[in-house]
Amino acid sequence: MKKKLKIYIYAISKNEEQFVERWVNSMNEADGIYVLDTGSTDDTVKKLKELGVNTNQKSYQQWRFDVARNDSLDFVPEDADICVCTDLDEVFLPGWRKVLEESWQDTTTRAMYNYNWYLDENNIPKISFYIEKIHNRNDYKWTHPVHEVLTYIGNTKENVIKCENITLNHYPDRTKSRSSYLPLLELSVKEDPKDDRNMHYLGREYMYYGKYQEAIDTLIKHLSLPTATWKDERCASMRFIARCYKYLKRYNESIMWLEKAIKEAPYLRDPYIELALTYYILEDYPNVEKYCLEALKITSHEKTYINEIFSWNETVYDLLSLAYYYQGEYQKALENINKALEINPTDERLIKNKELISQKIH
């Protein structure tokens, strides 16, 4: 008979009282829940303790996510068979423990499972991928100051299983500041300049901050690294370079990089849609039509964090309706605005556009 496994949740928290009850309810299938609070000034700690969560507190003079994660892991009892790292803005779908127990073998070191990073207002996943934050007690540590990675340090071969029937949903507070990310990413790249993942993230962060030339230079460095071989991420770096050039109104360079992105990962919708959006700015409607139609040929939605929301929502039909409208093809414009409205029926601009198109037909 298979022995009963001891499964513990661990997490870090700071000012997340709004999430505590929902999070604890979804984690309660575990044998214990352990939280390291890193300086809450609200009722996070009080609420956690009231719900029976084992809670420690620690303040940090120099903040690093990897250090805090490792400190929170140290808080987990040594008799743990399985450690499950989550954040308080995440929710497991019920039944996760049973699936994990049935899947876990004596030789298993880590589990991979579904993560819905972005869900729309109807709770429909829009960006989903696999994550691997379930692991055994002693063979892992967290590395990197931000966008921290669970790194294997065991002596035997790592054995990762895939649990398709475990799903974790992400419901973040999108008003929360990410101001600490940029300096931590700069530190991460300084500590390990050959790490392609963090170079990509740093370039993306510069783009978010409007530091377009720094973003372009950093993303080109990412593409030049020998370890930067994942085509999805390379494609994203090329798209972000193109986006920076678009913001700088250097459209020829933007188009050039988007064409490179398409060649890098022709199976992803994202570069086609971005190229259509760029041609729309330039009022080149035949090319808007061309690249939207190319995007629609791609029907398989890859499970990767690289996907853009606009690649799988109403955007492609919205763009097509506009392209057809400006080319005088009003019936096709109407067909596509109707498809856009099927996906997003309350959008005022789409509703008004449909009225304008309908007037042209009648």
- pLDDT tens digits for range 193-240: 999 999 999 999 999 999 999 999 999 999 999 999 999 999 999 999
- Residues 126-166: tens digit of each pLDDT: 889 999 999 999 999 999 999 999 999 999 999 999 999 99
> 31 lies in a domain?
yes
pTM score of the predicted model: 0.87
> 271 lies in a domain?
no
The reported pLDDT for the residue numbered 2 is 67
Q: Is residue 61 predicted with pLDDT exceeding 60? A: yes
b/e per residue 300-335 (b: at least 16 CB within 10 A):
eeeebebbbebbbbbbbbbbbbbbbbeeebbebbbe
Whole-number percent of the chain with pLDDT over 70: 99
Q: Specify the number of domains making up the chain.
A: 1
> 178 lies in a domain?
no
Q: Is residue 342 predicted with pLDDT exceeding 90? A: yes
Q: How many residues does the chain have?
A: 362
Print the domain residue range for 51. 7-170
Mean pLDDT for all residues in the chain: 95
**Close Cβ partners of 341 (under 8 Å, ≥ 6 residues apart):** 314, 347, 350, 351, 354
> 202 lies in a domain?
no
Strands (E) across 58-203 are located at 82-85, 90-92, 110-119, 125-135, 140-143, 149-152, 160-170
> 62 lies in a domain?
yes
> 97 lies in a domain?
yes
161 within 8 A of 105, measured Cβ to Cβ: yes
153 within 8 A of 140, measured Cβ to Cβ: yes
134 within 8 A of 110, measured Cβ to Cβ: yes
Q: Provide mean pLDDT across the span 334-340.
A: 97
**Dihedral angle of Cα 9, 13, 19, 25, to the nearest 10 degrees:** 20
Model confidence at 121, in pLDDT bands (50, 70, 90)? confident
In angstroms, rounded to a whole number, what is the distance separating the alpha carbons of residues 48 and 18? Answer: 11
> 34 lies in a domain?
yes
> 146 lies in a domain?
yes
Q: Domain with 128 in it: what CATH number?
A: 3.90.550.10
